[in-house]
Amino acid sequence: MATLTEKQLGTLMGYQEGPVFSVYMPTHRTHPDNAQDSDVFKKLVEQFEPLKNEYARDRGIQNVFSRFEALAEDYRFWQHSKEGLAVFATRDAFDIYRLPTRVQPLAIVADSPHTKPLLKYLQSSDRYHVLVLSTNTAQLFEGNRYQLDEIDLSQGDIPESMMDALDHELRDLHATLAAYHTATGEKWEVAQNHGLRKTDIDNDVEQFFRSVDRGVTVKYSVPTRLPLILAALPEHQHMFRRISRNNQLVEEGIAINAAALSGDALREAAGEVFEPHYNKRLNSMIGQYRHATTKQLGADQLEEIVRDAFDGKVATLLLEENRIIGGRIIDRDHVQYYLDDMDGAVDDILDDLAELVLRHGGEVWILPKEKMPSETGAASINRF
């Protein structure tokens, strides 16, 4: 099971030989709520039954249905869920992603994968990292105001303690002093610490912070572009911010000993810090759109946005969350709408539009209906 990143999203968008099956559903972490999740999955897959008959002689497609059935019957799989699930299947691939956020149940088959819910999940508008830092420990979490999950830093070769970050010689010195202190119970004095003065300790802490900053930036912040909230004492906030090169670091932090907080308390504190940051970015984006419309650089009519997207004009696309407009984009000048509800047999024009904008280097934001500045389900800001 792959970790969902922008790179993985790019791989999914490379699946252009249809049919491509996309299934989304909310899941549950604990019993008895998760007991019905497999049944929900089966009912969603049943929407694809007409395709199973249509491709009766296609061994690749029949194998897709066999894998759907095997997944539905995998008892252990359904006992280890998060908040949501996304499954994508083609003749040659079967990708499963557990998501730490809830998604609407959906089953769609089309020429390309339905990725709009993943764009919402991956965008930095409502998800973030939280770095809990002290002089000797580091923990990284990912999530939102509903759920924070700890990331195993050892998988990314990121030091989880000062001892991990120090050079071997200094490690030996600290280990010796720690062992001496443990064995004797004596209070450490500067004279006893064999030259380990306060400036040496500060240098060690700074080296530790630099290692953490470098690892988190490269392994997590750059690939995901998620905002980073720092949770640390005020003096450590100052030191880390002075040395950090992480462009995703949020200006406000949690300025307490966050290592002592419970999981729920940390999640609530991070949500309070992030909410004004999120609202500021969202209001700025909406303001940019409204300003763009005064200069004929903004649009909300689908056909016009499609033409602009094909021409590489769209810098930012705003799409309404959970809205589906049945149909597909044929080419620059032709958008085909489906007026009948075909139970998952058609794709979503808004999803196709998102893929088109991303392919031309644009940015896509998924907004709640109440925040959308248009009634059509889409709004764009053009480069020129």
The verdict on whether omega for the bond into residue 50 sits within 30 degrees of 0, i.e. cis, is: no
168 and 308, same domain (yes or no): no
Q: Same domain, yes or no, for 111 and 194?
A: no
Q: Does any domain span residue 289?
A: no
Q: Give the pLDDT score at 169.
A: 47
Considering 122, 146, 166, which residue would you say is the last residue of a domain?
A: 122
* Same-domain status, 132 and 275: yes
CATH code, 183:
3.30.420
The end-to-end CA distance of the chain, in Å, is 41
Closest CA to 72 of 33, 105, 26, 40: 40
Same domain, 258 and 159: yes
Q: Which of 216, 252, 248 is nearest to 232 (CA)?
A: 252
- Copy the structure tokens of residue 46: 């049943």
Q: At a CB cut-off of 8 Å and minimum separation 6, what does 221 contact?
A: 129, 228, 246, 247, 248
Tell me if 191 is assigned to some domain.
yes
- The reply to whether 186 falls in a domain is yes
Task: For residue 321, give the CATH number of its domain.
Answer: 3.30.1330.30
Task: Provide the token pair at 4.
Answer: 């969902």
CATH number at residue 114: 3.30.960.10
Domain co-membership, 188 together with 50: no
Q: Are 25 and 94 members of one domain?
A: yes
Instruction: Point out the residues of the chain with pLDDT beneath 70.
Output: 1-3, 123-125, 156, 162-201, 340-346
- Per-residue pLDDT, 3: 60
The answer to whether residue 57 is domain-embedded is yes
Q: Kindly state whether residue 287 falls inside one of the protein's structural domains.
A: no
Residues 138 and 250 in one domain: yes
CA atoms 13, 104, 68, 50: torsion sign: negative
d(CA 175, CA 287): 56
Q: Are residues 96 and 148 in the same domain?
A: no
Cite the beta strand spans of 263-339 per DSSP E: 298-299, 314-320, 327-331, 334-337
- Is 165 found in the same domain as 212? yes
* 217 and 351 fall within a common domain: no
55-60 contacts, C-beta under 8 A, 24 or more apart:
55/19, 58/91, 60/90, 60/91, 60/92
Predicted local confidence at residue 162, as pLDDT: 63
What was the pLDDT predicted at 198? 53
Domain with 200, as residue range(s), is 128-279
Domain count of the chain? 3
The reply to whether 286 falls in a domain is no
Inside any domain, residue 306: yes
Residue 146: predicted pLDDT: 74
Q: pTM surpassing 0.85?
A: no
254 shares its domain with 355? no
CA 103 to chain centroid, in Å, comes to 13
- The structure tokens listed for 12 are 């999914």
pLDDT at 60: 96
Specify the DSSP class assigned to residue 370.
Answer: G
Residue 285 within a domain: no
Q: Are residues 93 and 160 in the same domain?
A: no
Q: Select from 106, 122, 138 the last residue of a domain.
A: 122
Question: DSSP per residue over 27-71, as a string?
Answer: --SSTTGGGGHHHHHHHHHHTTHHHHHHTTT-HHHHHHHHHHHHH
